[in-house]
Structure 1
Amino acid sequence: MQFRPWWVTMTAKLAVSRLPVGYRTWARFGVFRHGGMDDGSYAISVFNAHVRAAGLVQLQGARILEMGPGDGVATALIAASHRASAVLVDVGDFVAHDLAPYKKLNRQLSSHVDLEGCTDLADLMSRCHGSQYLTHGLASLKTIPTASIDFLFSNAVLEHVDKDEFADHVVELKRILKPGALMSHEIDFRDHLGGGKNNMRFSSATWNSRLFRSAGFYTNRIACSDMVGMFLREGMRIVQQEASPHVVAPPPRRALAPEFRAISEADLNTAILKIVLST
């Protein structure tokens, strides 16, 4: 694989983001994509990984929430194959509306949803045991009834939640979970530019500017220990966690923006965290 400096990736994304082209057009070319949940096999592997991490065996009748489904509603079909329903929450309507990939995924599943005569995405979601696709982020979470979710998960999503709204997301995620229910998250603390921590080179004023936020590489830059601490302060309990270190070395501290130079070694070197929490 050819090495590409992080700043080359950043410059290219900044330039491309200024072009008057919509999200779905870019996504067709693999640019600015929101994950790979429109790929059936990948979606199944992600779903199963989080279910296994939480130690869940029986899903029938469960209400499962996915934070940030990205480019597809595959989780609704996968949940339905377990006789469960899904609530998919994102900050916009990014999913593919072409039904062909979903029908292909449906054929891969051991238990099928009847999609005969299915006309559109809303019809498909309805057939998945009344699953929902909500597209207003935090505002959508606030509409979900208290203690109505049996299990929730996210995959490389929490690092993209707006920093100013993160604490409110934690409050809502705990509120909607049933007592004793579990949540599973895989969080990618890398810079989404080259796998390091080069996003910490920039001041908050620059990083949070409209130009940077719209370029497809925004992350909230909340440190791992701070993020976990927010869940703990809300009364959540860690069931298990596994942190993976960086493969790409982080920048020297002197190259970081002043606000990040005191970050702990553990946080600086954490690339990915897999964590399961309980109410």
Structure 2
Amino acid sequence: MPALTKTLDLPHPHPPEDVPVPAGYAAGAPAPWWLKFAVKLALGALPVPAQAWRALGLRRHSFAALDPGRLVAPLQWRMARHQALCGQAPRSVLEVGPGAMVLRAPIAAALGLGPIWYLDVEDAAPQDLAPYRAAAEAARQAGLTPPDLSACRNRAEVLAACNARLLLGGAEALAAVPAGSVDLVFSEVALEHVRRDALAPLLAALRRVTAPGGLGLHAVDFHDHLGGRLRHLSFGPDFWNGPAVARAGLYCNQLGLSEVLAAFAAAGFAARASQRLVWDLPPVPPGGVHPALGRAPEDDRICHAALEVRPA
């Protein structure tokens, strides 16, 4: 993919709130980074499907998915943010890369959202009905009225009862969503896992389905996912974009905040970071960032960002 235009230093009427990265943030397992990296690569080389790893408790999406704090309140906050920025509550919603959080469909329906769309590259959502019924109970405990799931016999019937649909694939899967029909699009630390050559088509597809007065809310991690802060930036694209890293479940696209904002702009969005977690000094890997990445130096201070995205 061609180098993206750097936009991080452009003036903005609403500068982001910068918050120091908390001590120990995303530190990962207490083991040497290179050991964790080698073990991940070795496990990824084994002929074991991703579903089997998740069944063993490894390579799971959406850790602590049934944590009460991750159920009702985050959806309520996003709806309130849409109300504040767009002047009205959203109805239709699309979550990108939900993993197991498809189980929140009963809560979204209880909040009055619908249709509810989920887009993921693989099916990591629970098949068992218990998590969906637990989510419906969480909605009831919050004073909401979720759909009645008592007669549902499988996940497909649960999603139908919630006016929800899970789409599997990349940007092409969004062809099932009518143009300009989605009020609220959001993702939770998913965009950094989109491959570089797939990001532009995905954002173009999101632009097509986003309503004229719609809003995107995206939380994006920029740190190394093994607790090495920015250790993943020591690798060049030839290796990092290859099959070994993908099989190990380590892939993140090595893009910085300025590049992600530029990608949204190229797709026809006006995007800004409303909050950034920043390091005082860039935690670059030994030997520095690989020169082929061509990153803006300011990007190396940013660990995480919350993005607000509107159709331009």
TM above 0.5, yes or no, is yes
- Structure 2 residue 150 is the aligned partner of structure 1 residue 116: yes
Aligned length: 276
Identity %: 28
Name the structure 2 match of 1:8.
Answer: 35
1:7-31 C-alpha deviation (Å, 9 max, x unpaired)? 2221111112223333233223331
Q: Single out whichever of 159-168 and 42-51 deviates more from structure 2.
A: 42-51
1:40-99 C-alpha deviation (Å, 9 max, x unpaired)? 522334433433444458647x11000011124123212101122210000111111010
Please, what TM-score do these two structures have when normalized by structure 1?
A: 0.90
Tell me the distance in 1 between the aligned counterparts of 2:171 and 2:266. Answer: 19
Report if aligned partners of 1:4, 1:194 keep a CA contact under 8 Å in 2.
no
Of 155, 161, 167, the residue aligned with 1:127 is 161
1:237-275 C-alpha deviation (Å, 9 max, x unpaired)? 236621111489522573322213x53232011110101
SS in 2 for 1:200: helix
Name the structure 1 match of 2:189.
Answer: 156
1:181-238 C-alpha deviation (Å, 9 max, x unpaired)? 1010000011111151111111111111111111111001112101101212333223
Task: Give runs of aligned pairs for residues 1-279 of structure 1, distance below 5 A.
Answer: 3-36=30-63, 38-39=65-66, 41=68, 42-55=70-83, 59=89, 62-85=91-114, 86-109=116-139, 110-128=144-162, 130-238=163-271, 241-246=274-279, 250-252=283-285, 254-260=287-293, 262-279=294-311
Tell me the distance in 2 between the aligned counterparts of 1:269 and 1:226. Answer: 14
Tell me the distance in 2 between the aligned counterparts of 1:52 and 1:36. Answer: 25
SS in 2 for 1:254: coil
Which residue identity lines up with residue 57 of structure 2 in the other structure? G
Tell me the distance in 2 between the aligned counterparts of 1:189 and 1:50. Answer: 22
Report if aligned partners of 2:170, 2:202 keep a CA contact under 8 Å in 1.
no
Report the CA distance between 1:141 and its aligned residue.
Answer: 1.5
Residues 247 and 73 from structure 1, CA distance in 2 versus in 1: closer, same or farther, beyond 3 angstroms? Answer: farther
Report if aligned partners of 2:258, 2:296 keep a CA contact under 8 Å in 1.
no
SS in 2 for 1:142: helix
Tell me the distance in 1 between the aligned counterparts of 2:203 and 2:282. Answer: 30
Q: Which runs of 5+ in 1 are unaligned?
A: none
Report if aligned partners of 2:231, 2:285 keep a CA contact under 8 Å in 1.
no
Report if aligned partners of 2:183, 2:215 keep a CA contact under 8 Å in 1.
yes
1:119-148 C-alpha deviation (Å, 9 max, x unpaired)? 0011000000x2100111212123321101
Q: Which has the higher contact order (CA 8 A, sep 6+)?
A: 2
Residues 88 and 217 from structure 1, CA distance in 2 versus in 1: closer, same or farther, beyond 3 angstroms? Answer: same
Which residue identity lines up with residue 146 of structure 1 in the other structure? A
Tell me the distance in 1 between the aligned counterparts of 2:191 and 2:154. Answer: 29
Tell me the distance in 2 between the aligned counterparts of 1:239 and 1:226. Answer: 12
Aligned-pair RMSD on alpha carbons? 2.3
Residues 59 and 40 from structure 1, CA distance in 2 versus in 1: closer, same or farther, beyond 3 angstroms? Answer: farther
Report if aligned partners of 1:153, 1:184 keep a CA contact under 8 Å in 2.
yes
Residues 105 and 9 from structure 1, CA distance in 2 versus in 1: closer, same or farther, beyond 3 angstroms? Answer: same
Tell me the distance in 2 between the aligned counterparts of 1:248 and 1:13. Answer: 28
Which residue identity lines up with residue 103 of structure 1 in the other structure? R
SS in 2 for 1:25: helix
Tell me the distance in 2 between the aligned counterparts of 1:124 and 1:111. Answer: 15
Please, what TM-score do these two structures have when normalized by structure 2?
A: 0.81
Residues 5 and 249 from structure 1, CA distance in 2 versus in 1: closer, same or farther, beyond 3 angstroms? Answer: farther
Report the CA distance between 1:37 and its aligned residue.
Answer: 7.2
